[in-house]
Amino acid sequence: MAVYNELMKFLREEYFKRNYSEVLTPIMFNKSMWEISGHWEHYQNNMFLTESEGNIFSLKPMNCPGHTVIYSTQTRSYRNLPLRLAEFGQLHRNELSGTLSGLTRVRRFVQDDCHIFCMPDQIQDEMEKELDFAKFVLGDTFNFEYHMELSTKPEKSVGTAEMWEKAEEGLRNALQSKNLKYKLNPGDGAFYGPKIDFHIKDALGRTWQCATIQIDFNLPERFDLNFEGEDGKKHRPVMIHRAMLGSIERFMGVLIEHCAGKFPLWLSPVQVILLPIADRHIDYCEDIASEMKEKGIRADIDGSRETLNKKVRDAQLQQINYILVVGDREQENKSVNVRTRDNQQHGEKKVDAFVEELLKEIISRKF
């Protein structure tokens, strides 16, 4: 859960910088919503259904219809666009039992989902921003190797051929304007629009589709969305669907293997562990741990009766980033003796100075 929360915290900070508004929509919608969106016709077999008072409902497999409703709650002007709505929504998809696998393929998951409502002449700029965002997240922050695939119109789809052609052209233009290499994946688009999928490589060389960016002319049409243009007339917005991590559960599964459990400091469930040499040092360790927790550092204490060597070995096996040994000398000097999980010895450091070092490393999100 610590890793899960840190991933969402990271994205929330980026959303704030990039002018996204976070929203929360219901986990269940009436059948009529899915009929309008096209999911009832094209995706019903993958949905969990329930009935109440003669009405059929479904747990949502996607957030997009809910975001169209939020868009339509007020009159939108061209001055309000682009509107970027983000949601960490709980999604449920009725996957076949044979396809389920650990965290990488589950029936209930959370996406770092976003829908951007923009004017047609804003597509290029928004797409380029999202491609830059994906590079920042996958490459710059997590050091993943990845490749991109452009997935085009599938056999079962909604909308006109002209809509699909415009959407596919928008994705191609964005990729070409950034000089990005990509593979063509014919017929693998979503039923409502084409997409760019980002496939990241794990420690075993396998690839996983995580991030995705999609252009959609269909849902704005089906939900009759519009905005007032500069000419005073109503116009249809374009909807861009995007997720940077994709399923947070899948991303975590790949990430755990990618770094073999050796998380960078900002992601580690336990960032620091204090090892008192004797019982008389436990109170001092508790004071240090409390100080660290007040500053948001996840610190723990091994107060067991094991030998110091055994405690150090256990902490290294747990891949805890910093292992702090505390004895008489450290207690007297208001210090700690610092080593890492890789058995690098950093020696004695004053507690206040070491806490500042930790905070700088956490804020930098070094991988």
User: Which residues are known to be catalytic?
Assistant: 64, 93, 111, 113, 115, 195, 241
**Number of Cβ within a 10 Å radius of residue 124:** 13
Q: Is 154 exposed, middle or buried (0-12, 13-18, 19+ CB in 10 A)?
A: middle
Torsion sign over Cα 225, 227, 228, 231: negative
Q: How far apart are CA 56 and CA 53, in angstroms?
A: 9
DSSP type of residue 77 = B
Alpha-carbon distance values, 152 to 69, 183, 186 (Å)? 27, 11, 5
Q: How far apart are CA 325 and CA 312, in angstroms?
A: 9
- Does residue 210 contact residue 245 with C-beta atoms inside 8 Å? yes
User: Facing residues of 324 across strands?
Assistant: 274, 338
Q: Is 37 exposed, middle or buried (0-12, 13-18, 19+ CB in 10 A)?
A: buried
Q: What's the angle, vertex CA 361, arms to CA 20 and CA 315, rounded to 5?
A: 115
Burial state string for 66-87 with b = 16 or more CB within 10 A and e = fewer than 16: bbbebbeeeebebeebbbbbbb
Q: Which residue has the tokens 């009725």?
A: 94
- Does residue 203 contact residue 187 with C-beta atoms inside 8 Å? no
- Of 199, 208, 210, nearest to 146 (Cα)? 199
